[in-house]
Amino acid sequence: MKRQADQQHLDWLARSFGRPDYAPLSPADVDLLRNVGEIVTKYPGTHLFKENAPADAAYLVEKGEVEIYRGEGPSKRVVSRVGPGSVLGDIAMFGDTPYISSARAVGPVRAFRFDRTRLLPELARHPAVCLRWLVAGLRQLEGTQRRVIRLMHKTVLGQVADLLMEEGEARAEVNLSQATIAALLGVSRQSVNEALGRLRDQGAVETGYRSIRIVDTDMLASVAAA
């Protein structure tokens, strides 16, 4: 049970990485740090970094879409997709721990790469930027913990609706498979399928292959709050 809970927590952390609403860098900050960053271009299917590799850099996505996933082969689960403005890998980099997820380019991606050995001295010279970055990271961790605790007290239907509401803040179409939703919530895939069926019957969502489109936000919010 402990291992399953640990995996669920890591899945939520991986999903949170790169959310634009957590982005700690303003355009002015990026300009200030530009001399320590380098532009990298990734082709579809190539990686910015891989799970368990040393976290020697953080990335700021400028263009394109990046897939965040955990595991390999049959156990692989896509946790999220993120786009321009997203910062990836910074918490692991600051903690000097391995990356807890993999980041793969979905299409052509252009990003700033901030090497740890060059970035940390620059942040030491600019404490205001360092503080904004670290506070954003702490808020990210706190937000992840709050979401895990909040979801523990809901039915599976409420949990699924809550997750879709949060994901729908960024886009109307949620690109999460039923298996990934089940892994994030710590429930069975069958129960997720049944919950989605009820939401579909109520007119809150439409479902397709590895995608869920939110069509009635008010209805979804009502189910999530129940």
Give the residue carrying structure tokens 């990686």.
47
Q: Give the pLDDT mean for 170-180.
A: 77
Residues of the chain above pLDDT 90, percent: 31
The whole-number pLDDT of residue 142 equals 77
The whole-number pLDDT of residue 29 equals 82
Please report the DSSP string for the chain in residue order: -HHHHHHHHHHHHHHHTT-GGG----HHHHHHHGGGEEEEEE-TT-EEE-TTSB--EEEEEEES-EEEEES-GGG-EEEEEE-TT-EESHHHHHHT-B-SSEEEESS-EEEEEEEHHHHHHHHHH-HHHHHHHHHHHHHHHHHHHHHHHHHTTS-HHHHHHHHHHHHTTT-SEE---HHHHHHHHTS-HHHHHHHHHHHHHTTSEEEETTEEEE--HHHHHHHHH-
Q: Using the predicted structure, report yes or no on whether residue 2 has a pLDDT greater than 60.
A: no
Q: Using the predicted structure, report yes or no on whether residue 66 has a pLDDT greater than 80.
A: yes
Ordered by where they begin, the domains of the chain are: 2-149 (2.60.120.10), 154-225 (1.10.10.10)
Query: Which is nearest to 187 in space by CA: 211, 163, 217, 214?
Result: 163
- Residues 23-62 have pLDDT tens digits of 777 788 878 888 888 999 999 999 999 999 999 999 989 8
Q: Among the ranges 55-64, 71-80, 183-192, which has the highest mean pLDDT value?
A: 55-64
Query: Which is nearest to 133 in space by CA: 41, 60, 36, 55?
Result: 60
Q: Cα separation of 115 and 46, whole Å?
A: 19
Question: What is this structure's pTM?
Answer: 0.74
Query: Within the chain, what is the greatest distance between any pair of CA atoms?
Result: 57
Q: Which token pair is 196?
A: 């989605």
